[in-house]
């Protein structure tokens, strides 16, 4: 039995000064239910993906969705969290509720409000998704953790700084076409490749253009059982959703190989009875450009250590053999932690149904979504297919 996406909503990502956690939640809840052609009474369950870790004083947001309409009162609502993969964890929770027969329709919301918090609070919150006992030393940050990953990768496979600049430039070029993106500016390869006052090192060898942004935003999906999807004008089937977790300490893993990510990809493709070559595009978790590079290898696009081929030979551009991050990715679209995984599913559903205004890929039918929490610790892969 397939679970289907039959409606969605998505705010613009960015610094949303006049929005609150509650206002963003209300808006996407109402809009997603309306987009699905349903009434609030039709929703059986609500799942909220929200990371927070002190970035917002409202640490218990599950029932905020009920403020969207009084007919949502008394519906079961649950908040889930799994670091930067929180959004996909919420989607998976909704799928499991439907597959278990506990719900016919589920409203899934991903939400984060980050930019109102001091930078130090955001750094500390994000670092809590690492193995703090070893990796949370004074002055540590996620940028420095991924810089260490990049340094190790470079030592093994050669300096890839130009390759990372090409990834950043591609995602900014794509994001410039996405009206919902945080940064809608085509920065170009030369800017991304050059260390300057406008593009300084954040944590060498990672430059500012190699790092995703602190963002606010929300996204929502309405999921339903297969028989309910047969009466709506369009639907996107979730052919597979796989999760694979790895050890939390980076010291216990080869950080140049995202092995649990590879496992999640293999399991999802096996469940969907597809190969990577069958997909029309992928939305992947480019929290840092080095992450996207290693993810090419984890998904099986290239052998280990050869991800640069996909970049330098143009495989991942909109015109390439497997376009990656047509939305602009986390790099340009933005990365409000709890919203990210839901956003990736929304962006993919928009592509598959021909509704990705400005960045539409012609005739797309199958998509892959990869969302990870921590440094390749919690790994989720969804395979989506247009079914109506």
The pLDDT tens digits for 127-167 are 999 999 999 998 899 999 999 999 999 999 999 999 999 99
In this prediction, residue 230 carries a pLDDT of 78
* pLDDT of the residue at 266: 98
Q: What is the pLDDT of residue 36?
A: 96
CA of 97: how far to CAs of 90, 288, 296, 339, 382, in Å? Answer: 11, 33, 31, 20, 16
Residues annotated as catalytic are 84, 335
pLDDT of 226 = 85
Output the CA–CA distances (angstroms, integers) from residue 292 to 39, 267, 273, 340, in the order listed: 39, 20, 24, 15
User: pLDDT by residue (tens digit) across 302-334?
Assistant: 999 999 999 999 999 999 999 999 999 999 999
pLDDT of residue 388: 80
Q: What is the model's pLDDT at position 55?
A: 96
pLDDT of residue 227: 83
| Helix 119-127 and helix 142-157, axial crossing angle in degrees, nearest 10 | 60
HEC string for 269-295: HHHHCCCHHHCCEEECCCCEHHHHHHH
pLDDT over 80 at 1, yes or no:
no
- Provide the pLDDT confidence category of residue 101 given band limits of 50, 70 and 90: very high
Q: Which two tokens stand for residue 160?
A: 């890839």
pTM: 0.98
Hunting for tokens 């969705």 — which residue is that?
A: 65
Tens of pLDDT, residues 62-91: 999 999 999 999 999 999 999 999 999 999
Q: For the chain, how are helix, strand and coil distributed in percent, rounded to 5?
A: 40, 20, 40
Q: Hey, what are 132's tokens?
A: 């703090």
SS3 339: helix
Q: Which of 317, 160, 143 is nearest to 213 (CA)?
A: 143
% residues pLDDT > 90 (the chain): 95
Q: Which residue shows structure tokens 């004008």?
A: 233
* pLDDT at position 214: 97
Compute the distance between CA of residue 352 and CA of residue 340 in angstroms, rounded to an integer.
18
Q: Contact 52/125 with Cβ under 8 angstroms? A: yes
> Does the pLDDT of residue 376 top 80, yes or no?
yes
- 191-240 pLDDT, tens digit per residue, is 999 999 999 999 999 999 999 999 999 999 999 998 888 788 889 999 99
* Cα(342)–Cα(328) distance, integer angstroms: 15
For 320-369, the pLDDT digits (tens) are 999 999 999 999 999 999 999 999 999 999 999 999 988 999 989 999 99
pLDDT per position as a tens digit, 9-68: 999 999 999 999 999 999 999 999 999 999 999 999 999 999 999 999 999 999 999 999
Percent of the chain with pLDDT over 70: 100
**Nearest residue to 160 (alpha-carbon basis) of 306, 314, 318:** 306
Contact 361, 324 (CB under 8 A): no
């Amino acid at each position: 039995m397939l679970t289907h996406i039959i409606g969605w909503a998505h705010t613009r990502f960015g610094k949303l000064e006049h929005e609150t956690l509650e206002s963003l939640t209300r808006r996407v809840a109402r809009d997603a239910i309306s987009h699905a052609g349903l009434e609030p009474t039709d929703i059986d369950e609500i799942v909220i993906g929200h990371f927070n870790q002190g970035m917002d004083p409202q640490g218990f947001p599950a029932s905020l969705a009920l403020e969207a309409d009084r007919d949502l009162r008394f519906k079961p609502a649950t908040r889930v969290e799994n670091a930067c993969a929180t959004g996909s964890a919420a989607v998976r929770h909704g799928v499991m509720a439907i597959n278990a027969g506990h719900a016919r329709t589920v409203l899934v919301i991903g939400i984060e409000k980050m930019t109102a918090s001091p930078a130090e609070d955001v750094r500390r919150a994000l670092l809590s998704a690492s193995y703090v006992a070893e990796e949370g030393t004074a002055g540590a940050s996620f940028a420095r953790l991924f810089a260490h990953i990049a340094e190790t990768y470079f030592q093994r496979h050669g300096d890839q700084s130009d390759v990372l600049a090409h990834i950043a430039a591609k995602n900014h070029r794509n994001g410039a076409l996405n009206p919902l993106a945080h940064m809608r500016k085509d920065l170009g390869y030369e800017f991304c490749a050059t260390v300057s006052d406008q593009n300084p090192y954040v944590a060498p060898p990672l430059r500012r253009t190699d790092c995703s942004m602190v963002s606010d935003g929300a996204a929502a999906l309405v999921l339903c059982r297969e028989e309910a999807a047969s009466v709506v004008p369009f639907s996107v089937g979730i052919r597979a959703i796989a999760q694979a977790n790895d050890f939390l300490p980076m010291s216990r893993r080869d950080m140049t190989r995202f092995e649990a990510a590879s496992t999640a990809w293999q399991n999802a493709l096996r469940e969907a009875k597809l190969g990577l070559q069958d997909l029309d595009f992928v939305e992947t978790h480019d929290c840092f450009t080095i992450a996207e590079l290693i993810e090419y290898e984890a998904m099986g696009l290239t052998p280990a250590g050869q991800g640069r081929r996909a970049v330098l030979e143009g495989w991942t551009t909109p015109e390439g053999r497997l376009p990656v991050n047509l939305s602009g990715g986390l790099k340009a679209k933005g990365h409000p932690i709890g919203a990210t995984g839901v956003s990736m599913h929304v962006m993919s559903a928009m592509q598959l149904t021909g509704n990705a205004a400005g960045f539409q890929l012609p005739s797309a039918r199958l998509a892959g979504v990869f969302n990870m929490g921590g440094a390749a610790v919690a790994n989720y892969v969804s395979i989506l297919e247009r079914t109506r």
